[in-house]
Each structure stands twice: as structure tokens, then as C-alpha cells.
Amino acid sequence: MSKGALKVLYTLKDAGYEAYLVGGCVRDLLLGLHPKDFDVATNATPEQVKALFKNGRIIGRRFQIVHVRFGREIIEVTTFRGPHEDATEHATDEGMLLRDNVYGTLEQDAWRRDFTINALYYTVKDFSIVDYTGGINDLKSRTIRMIGEPSVRFKEDPVRMLRAIRFAAKLNFHIQHDDEVSIKNALDENFHLLDAVSSARLFDEVLKLFMGGYATAVYELLLKENMYQQLFPFSKAAQSEFYSEFVRQGLKNTDLRIQQEKPVTPAFLFAVLLWPEVETRTKQILQHEKSVFQAINLAGHEVAEEVNQHITIPKRFRYMMYDMWALQVRLPNRGGKRAYKTLDHKRFRAGYDFLLLRSQVSQKFENSNDLNGFNNEVLASLSTWWTNFQAESDAGKKLMLKELPGKPKHKKRK
């Protein structure tokens, strides 16, 4: 349990306020998991909270909250929220809430949260859990249950649909579908509303979905609920057996890296998610364009810019993706000084990892044929070559280059 969170709870309590741990941290602690962060809810206003903590800062977005910092840890302190007197006044025609910033009581705060398992409160006043919505039962039966009517709550904030998928995947819970008001049906009916969510927020949510260490489970759930296609409309190509296996393996590798506490970058994630479409389009462009290099750059920019319309991928990540994709065409060309130049490329490591992934997946498909016209065997030997080349001494590198077969001659077409 976080020392910082306890300090905040006791300081607020001693000053005469109500204060509770709430949300993911209570849920995860009850499940025996390590919470990612600790959130506190209180009846003190942001100014009153700030007055109690030297290390507190008011962060103002739609709703003011206080960040209390302890070294590297930040405890988020939020004042109880309540419902609007007239919610329709602050909603779009579709029912999406534009403002959500009225203070309320503990009970009101509970009812406006998304899922019952996220609306459990823990207090150090008597070390008890407060549960207005039935969250404890749902934790026991491993159920993601919406507070209130799913369809209405999804319309208020369509991101809750992605959150339902995320928690189901992360916790290995099932999404409630036993009542008349089924979350599953509501997902089907409302998923198109994600279009109305800002593209910056969608980028954040996609990262939360795929970079939490359980991306494979998220992917399977999205496929099962027919939502993957809607989240990434460009991804027709990803439906093929080959490419769904490619995405699955890419996500598996990402999950593994996160487990091993190795760094992962959004650029690699998106390079994987978009690759089915990028490679497919590259092959199409090659029907009337000779240079694979130009074709992949064209296809890569096209796809990334289309995606960017509804999921903003920050520029630095987009540029890294372009480099990684272009390296798939550069890595085979090793003659002269080219292998050394490629090795020095600032994205070499990511491009090489991407090649390994492509090769790994192609081994499961005998008749694979990549954008360079390579099958699984050529990809495997190319990957091995680069693995060895990196490990070799200077002399060894020279020898490897000498032993390279001459430039492959294109077969003459009759």
C-alpha cells in the first residue's frame, strides 16, 4: 500500500474531512494485484486540499483536481462529484456530456463512476469498504457491470466502451450480458460513437489498451466483439489469417517486453498495428512503380495520415514508424558500405526487431511473399545474417560482407 496515499488519507481525516481511496487502486488491492496509481476522493474542495499539502498543486482541466507529490509518486485527490441539475443542458444531441464539474456527496460520486468494480471506496476512519453499487459482488463473480444503463452511459462518454474492454482483458473478467440491459448489446449499438471522441484522447486510450501488458487479451476481445475493425477502420488487410497472426505476435512480444520491464514505444506498437495495410498498399503501388523504397514511403505516409484523422499519432512516433518501415526495404541491401550505414541508422534496432517479427510470423506460412518478394526462408536467413553481423568483430563483419552473394539478378521475364 502506498505510503503517500496513506499520508493523504490521514491528513485529510485529521483535518476533519471525509477521504477515501477509490477506483482502480481499491479494485486491484482487493484482487491482490499491484495498483498502478492511487486516487483519493474527498469532500474537501481543491483549495482546501491544497492548503493542507505543501507538495500539492491544483491541476485544472474540466474539473479541478489536486496532485500531491511524494518523490516520484503522485496521489490524485478529487472532490466528490455529483450529477447536474439538468444534464441535458450540458450534453450534445447524442447525449455526450460536455461538462461534468459539479461537486456532490460520496454516494453521488459513486453513482457517476463507470463500472461497479471501480466504485469501491476505502476509508482509514474504520478501515472499511463502502460499496453503493454492488461492486464487491461483481468482483467476486468477476463481472464488468455498468453503473446505470449501459447505452446511456456509453453515449455520455463513448470511451467507457474501450474501458470495458480494457478492464475485461486486464482482469480476465467477463462483460456482463445476463440482464435485459446488457453491456454487450450496448457495445454493438454504440461503438460508432467513438468517432465523436477527440483524436488525442483516442490515442491515449489506444496506448492504455495496448501498452498495459495485456495487449493480446485486448486484441482477442476486440476481435470477438467485432470492435477491432471499427477502432481501426483501415485494417481490412488485418483480417487475413497471415496479418491477424502478425498483429497477434507483435502484441505478444510487446506484452513480454512489458513483463520484463523493457522499454516499449508507441511507434513500434503502431508500426505493427498499421503494417498489414502498409504492406498491402506497398504491393499495390508496386504494380505501377518500380522502387520498393518509394512505394513503402508512399504507402506508409498514406496510411499514417488516414489513421491520424481519428487517432492522433504524435509526429515523433510517426517519423519513427516511417523509418522502421523503410528499413524493411534497406535491410536486404548490404553490399558495399550499405550494411555499415544501416547499422548506424538511429532506428536500426527497432527496424531489426521489426524484421525479426516479420520473419518469425512468416515461418508459420509456407507461401508467404513479402513486399520484397521474400518468402519465409529468405526472411529467416536475412534475420540471422543481421543477428550475426551485429555480434561479429570488425574483421568478422568484413568477412561476412565478402561472403555475401552477388546482387541477386532479377529473373528476366519472357
Quick one: what does residue 159 bind among ligand ATP, Mg ion, none, with the CB cut-off 5 to 8 Å set by partner type? Answer: ligand ATP
Q: Which is nearer to ligand ATP, 163 or 257 (CB)?
A: 163
The whole-angstrom separation of Cα 146 and Cα 312 is 28
Q: Which is nearer to ligand ATP, 81 or 347 (CB)?
A: 81
The whole-angstrom separation of Cα 68 and Cα 86 is 33
Quick one: what does residue 358 bind among Mg ion, ligand ATP, none, with the CB cut-off 5 to 8 Å set by partner type? Answer: none
**Closest separation in Å from C-beta 76 to Mg ion:** 8
DSSP H or E segment with residue 41: strand 39-42
**Closest separation in Å from C-beta 107 to Mg ion:** 21
Q: Which is nearer to ligand ATP, 121 or 219 (CB)?
A: 121
Q: Of 350, 49, 310, which Cα lies nearest the Cα of 158? A: 310
Quick one: what does residue 332 bind among Mg ion, ligand ATP, none, with the CB cut-off 5 to 8 Å set by partner type? Answer: none
Quick one: what does residue 158 bind among ligand ATP, Mg ion, none, with the CB cut-off 5 to 8 Å set by partner type? Answer: none
Geometric angle at alpha carbon 262, from 257 and 266, rounded to 5°: 75
Q: Which is nearer to ligand ATP, 46 or 351 (CB)?
A: 46
Grid cell, residue 160, equals: 467507457
CA dihedral 93, 99, 105, 107 (to 10 degrees): 40
217 half-sphere exposure, CB direction, 13 A CA radius:
19
**Closest separation in Å from C-beta 1 to Mg ion:** 15
**Closest separation in Å from C-beta 159 to Mg ion:** 14
Quick one: what does residue 157 bind among Mg ion, ligand ATP, none, with the CB cut-off 5 to 8 Å set by partner type? Answer: ligand ATP
Task: Name the amino acid, one letter, at 342.
Answer: T
Query: Any idea which residues carry the catalytic annotation?
Result: 37, 39, 114
**Closest separation in Å from C-beta 212 to ligand ATP:** 7
Q: Using CB atoms, what's the residue nearest to ligand ATP?
A: 24
Q: Going by DSSP bridges, is the β-strand pair 174-175/143-144 parallel, antiparallel, or unpaired?
A: parallel
Q: Which residues bind ligand ATP (CB under 6 A)?
A: 23-24, 36-37, 39, 113-114, 118-119, 157, 159-160
Grid cell, residue 126, equals: 474504520
Q: Using CB atoms, what's the residue nearest to Mg ion?
A: 24
Q: Which residues bind Mg ion (CB under 5 A)?
A: 24, 37
159: left (phi over 0), alpha (psi -120 to 50) or beta: alpha
Q: Of 2, 47, 51, 50, which Cα lies nearest the Cα of 24? A: 2
**Closest separation in Å from C-beta 370 to ligand ATP:** 37
The whole-angstrom separation of Cα 333 and Cα 108 is 64
The whole-angstrom separation of Cα 18 and Cα 43 is 6
Q: Which is nearer to ligand ATP, 39 or 323 (CB)?
A: 39
Q: Which is nearer to ligand ATP, 74 or 380 (CB)?
A: 74
Measure Cα distances from 377 to 50, 331, 361, 404 in Å: 63, 15, 12, 16
Task: Name the amino acid, one letter, at 250.
Answer: G
Quick one: what does residue 320 bind among ligand ATP, Mg ion, none, with the CB cut-off 5 to 8 Å set by partner type? Answer: none
DSSP H or E segment with residue 58: strand 56-60
Which backbone phi and psi does 301 adopt, to 5 degrees?
-65, -45
